[in-house]
Structure 1
Amino acid sequence: MRSSLLAAVEADGKEEHATGLVSFVLSGRRFAIDTRYVCEIVQDARVSPLPGTPAHVVGVHDLRGHLIPVFDLAALLDLRHDISPAADWVIVCGETQPEFLVLADGMPKVARLPRDEIVPAAAGDLGGKWGAATTSDGTIILDGDRLLNDRRFFLEGIQTKADGEDGEDEIP
């Protein structure tokens, strides 16, 4: 849960000189999200597919009685990614409550990174419009606020397609 994530990254009281991050791998590339935008990490998440939705919509997960949408960031970043309804790990994103889940290849890691090891993202970095910064090891730090406010993660604006139809339509 969020409180245990924050405890792990703020253990020695130096949080003002470091940033807590949840790092994860997608298609062989390392990404991270600030812990402020992560509620929890779930292992062996059972995802129910949603037929007829865009490629980045994997399905929904029952998180303690609440159906939360699951997304594949790799699809939006044009990374090759083999997704499965039986995702091993998902990251529950949200500030005050779970908003959506994103797939991760393998177990995400929680760490504190000194701020001097973080540099602003260069134009054209792989993180797309969410890329806020990179680390000295090449990890792309995604901007959690931009991610949470991206309209592609709001299912009410997506109209599903019948089998055999192409494209995405937004409901006016």
Structure 2
Amino acid sequence: MSMRYCIKDYRTSIDPHLLRTFFSHTQISITDYNWIFSDLTAYASKGRQELEDSIFRQVNFTLTGQELEELLKHEEVVVVFGVMVAVKENLNIKDIERLPVIEYNKHYWEEDYMSPIKNAVMEVGFFDGELIIVTTDNQNIVDTLKRNIFNFPNLISLKEYMES
């Protein structure tokens, strides 16, 4: 069964205005995985200039870890809603039977939720710029998050969040 954690009020606990800040705070290596983005509402900019042609303006897409790392060097990305899934294999978005959805999906908030992406190492759900939900059964990722808890003072289990 997957472990699910919430980072609530992340706007104030980490500087979420940059997706790269999420990675720097979690210490999760971007290049160790390929990334699937789905149900995405995000904004990308360079300095004060919004990038209308950024891939982050698409709803669903995939990137290799190297592609994502390179993009985040040049683009400031804010994810308002959406799901980001880490996988080891290289996948074509057209070959994925069902993509994860966070917005208007009651099942996403259930404790027994499982990513529809087979072999997902980690799934990160962004909800309204206020909450991040991390779903994983990879103990190394859980240990990494816990080791970096000082970056996430509001890291709690999904169960604790739902009970509050």
**TM tier, shorter chain?**
under 0.3
TM-score, normalised via structure 1 length:
0.24
Of structures 1 and 2, the larger Rg is shown by 1
Bigger fraction of residues in strand = 1
Give 1 or 2: higher helix fraction.
Answer: 2
**TM-score, normalised on structure 2?**
0.25
**Bigger relative contact order, structure 1 or 2, given CA contacts below 8 A and separation 6+?**
2
